[in-house]
Amino acid sequence: MELAALRSGIVLKGADVGVSREHARQARLKRLALVLAMVAAVVVGRVVAGLVHYLNANALSAKGDLAAAAAQYSAANGDFALPHPGVPASFMPYLPAFVLVVLLLAVMAGPLLLAGRSPHVLYRPEEIGVRLADVVGASGVVEEVVKTLNLFLAHRTFSDSMGGTPRRAVLFEGPPGTGKTYIAKAMAAEAGVPFLFVSSSAFQSMYYGQTNKKIRSYFRALQRYARKDGGAIGFIEEIDAIGAARGGMGAGPGREGIAGVVNELLIQLQSFDAPPVGTRIVNTFIDAVNVWLPPARAIAKRVVEPANFLVIAATNRASDLDPALLRPGRFDRTVRVDVPSRAGRREVLDYYMGRKAHAPELDDPAELDRLAGSTFGYSPVMLEHLLDEALVWALRGGRTAMTVEDIQKARMTSELGMTQDVTYSPGERVAIATHEAGHATVAYFVAPDRRLEVLSIIKRSDALGLLSHSEVEERFTRRRSECEALLQISMGGMVAEEIFFGEAGTGPSGDLAAATNLAANMVGSYGMGGSLVSLGASRGPLDVVGRVLADERCREAVASLLGTAKDKARDVVLANPHVLEALRDALLERDELIGDEITTAICGALHRGPATGSQSAPVVVDVREQSPEGLEAPGGQVPAS
């Protein structure tokens, strides 16, 4: 194979693995032909002998020697008959007891004998229904695995022509649901080699030493399939279950015995070139002969051919692994499989939209872009689950294709839980609507770079109402002004209650917790609280927020940030009470506003302008003045966002 082919960005076909597979196939055919020839020789010999006896019997019968003829006929029948075992009649009375003893031995010794078997599940390439073309939203990862796969497929070219050592183990690290197992299966399917899947927990056994034996059996199986098919790929799921750090290198309590398991794993990863059984037997015989021969006439032993297989392991916590597992020669390449970016999420959505029934409106690229932008942090599995949940909502509505509204409901269900059938008191309903409208009003004016997605007064989980908003463009960092805007949005519900009811209830508790957490990180981690000292630089029993709140000066800085944010949020609400009232009335009418419905209500209020006499600073408004039914202000618990 040309070395230039290794630079290609596609998976190599007909590489060294294919050549090795063909050689192994021809060797198997030769061995089969040899065995069949031996069997045929025995059968032909028996047939010839039987014919000879039969002809002799006929000749003797013609001469009248009937006794000799009968002996020849009997010999001929014996040659033609198939051999079969017989049970002596004297053994028959003991047969039930013998069977019982065998069964008891099987019950007692069976678990011990079978406990050391390799727990892998074998998948042939044709049994795997995914290919690398199905891995979308992770172009960088696909590029890396293609390079690794090509080195695996062209291992002889890389080692013989360039003198390199092919990569034997790769570690996939990343959050759950990002496609680590999916990619490994696609690699095996593309390579056309056996795929030996095993979970780390399957290695564990109740019998001492059987875990190590299972690991040895698994690697022997890998070597066997690799030599038989030209290559094999092994996949170990959640390897941190058996590869955690040993004692003295970060091991925690309750890990007795883990050192021996890790040691066995390290040995097997290093001992790829162990000779097969046949080679060991031949070399043992040669050693026995060479003892009697002078060195000049010694017989050359068989050279051990390296078994070409690739071990892929997956984990969510690579930091927990033993450092020796990550050194060169073992898992020396770590591939980070992370949640997809916005562009990656768009690719995943396009992929699944081609396989799931959906309304024509979801074919609009702008709509898919909005959906990709609003699902920041979603893994491919989460996106698939989101669309499946949307199909469930479509079925509930008597439709066979999902819509944008179905996807939005699915998001709310996945992130916040199912809606709860509760009935608010009239005054409480107005208070919740006012609170959430205050959040939306402040968000619209102080954070123009954020998209208002859902404004609701429907109870979900612990939230009596909510405002869902996200960034228009995907961002991984925030400026100080953006953090302050988020603090002001959190305070919007509280100041709305104070302005329209004269006081705030317990509703803002969740908002204050979120705002305090953000402000504490601004002070202790981001350097936005007047000090450049990072409390996250030291490791201790408390997190950054706990250390900030435990320090008096830092606590004062947090309180200052929150107070300033509340004052600015109050100014926004006082300057735009008509916007808040429009959002509140729309919520009271429809319970939930989604997407453009929020901005339509805001733009309508801005177009109409403030009511007569509201240009001056608003005074405290009793809820009864806002409600045509003459509702009273709510008492007791006030909802939280």
Q: Please state, for a pLDDT cut of 70, what percent of the chain lies above it.
A: 87
**Contacts of residue 529, Cβ cutoff 8 Å, sequence gap at least 6:** 519, 522, 523, 554, 557, 558, 561
Q: What is the pLDDT of residue 611?
A: 66
Question: Residues 133, 152: one domain?
Answer: yes
In our burial notation (b when 16+ CB lie closer than 10 A, e otherwise), range 138-176 reads beebbebbbbbbbbbbbbbbbbeeeeeebbbbbbbbbee
Question: Residues 325, 348: one domain?
Answer: no
**With bands split at pLDDT 50, 70 and 90, how would you rate the model's confidence at 381?**
very high
Residue 126 known to be catalytic: no
pLDDT digits (tens, 9 = 90+) for 6-44: 555 677 666 677 777 777 778 888 888 888 888 888 888
Question: Residues 348, 332: one domain?
Answer: no
Domains contained in the chain, number: 3
pLDDT at 164 over 80: no
- Residue 193 backbone phi and psi in degrees, to 5: -125, 165
pLDDT at 442 over 70: yes
Answer yes or no: are the C-beta atoms of 193 and 231 closer than 8 Å.
yes
Q: Which CATH number does the domain housing residue 386 bear?
A: 1.10.8.60
Question: Residues 526, 594: one domain?
Answer: yes
pLDDT at 614 over 50: no
- Residue 443 backbone phi and psi in degrees, to 5: -60, -40
Catalytic, out of 436, 453, 484, 592: 436
pTM of the model: 0.73
Q: Is position 60 within any domain?
A: no
Question: Residues 443, 360: one domain?
Answer: no
Q: Is position 67 within any domain?
A: no
Average pLDDT over residues 242-263: 64
Question: Residues 229, 130: one domain?
Answer: yes
Question: Residues 461, 587: one domain?
Answer: yes
Q: Is position 285 within any domain?
A: no
Q: Is position 317 within any domain?
A: yes
pLDDT at 626 over 70: no
Question: Residues 402, 518: one domain?
Answer: no
Q: Is position 478 within any domain?
A: yes
Question: Residues 309, 233: one domain?
Answer: yes
Q: Residue 406 belongs to what domain range?
A: 342-416
Question: Residues 558, 532: one domain?
Answer: yes
Q: What is the pLDDT of residue 640?
A: 39
How far is the C-alpha of 164 from the C-alpha of 479, rounded, in Å? Answer: 47
Which pairing describes strands 333-336 and 309-315: parallel, antiparallel, or unpaired? unpaired
Average pLDDT, whole number, for the chain? 82
Tell me, what amino acid is at 215?
Answer: I
How far is the C-alpha of 387 from the C-alpha of 591, rounded, in Å? Answer: 24
pLDDT digits (tens, 9 = 90+) for 514-569: 999 999 999 998 988 888 888 878 776 678 888 888 888 999 999 999 999 999 99
How far is the C-alpha of 529 from the C-alpha of 560, rounded, in Å? Answer: 9
Instruction: Among 355, 386, 416, identify where a domain stops.
Output: 416
How far is the C-alpha of 370 from the C-alpha of 342, rounded, in Å? Answer: 10
Answer yes or no: are the C-beta atoms of 275 and 236 closer than 8 Å.
no
Write the CA distances from 8 to 139, 146, 152, 184, 337, integer angstroms: 15, 9, 14, 20, 22
Q: Is position 71 within any domain?
A: no
Question: Residues 329, 377: one domain?
Answer: no
Nearest to 465 by CA among 517, 501, 404, 419: 419
DSSP SS3 for 60: helix
Answer yes or no: are the C-beta atoms of 422 and 444 closer than 8 Å.
no
Helix axes 577-590, 596-608, angle to 10 degrees: 140
Question: Residues 356, 311: one domain?
Answer: no
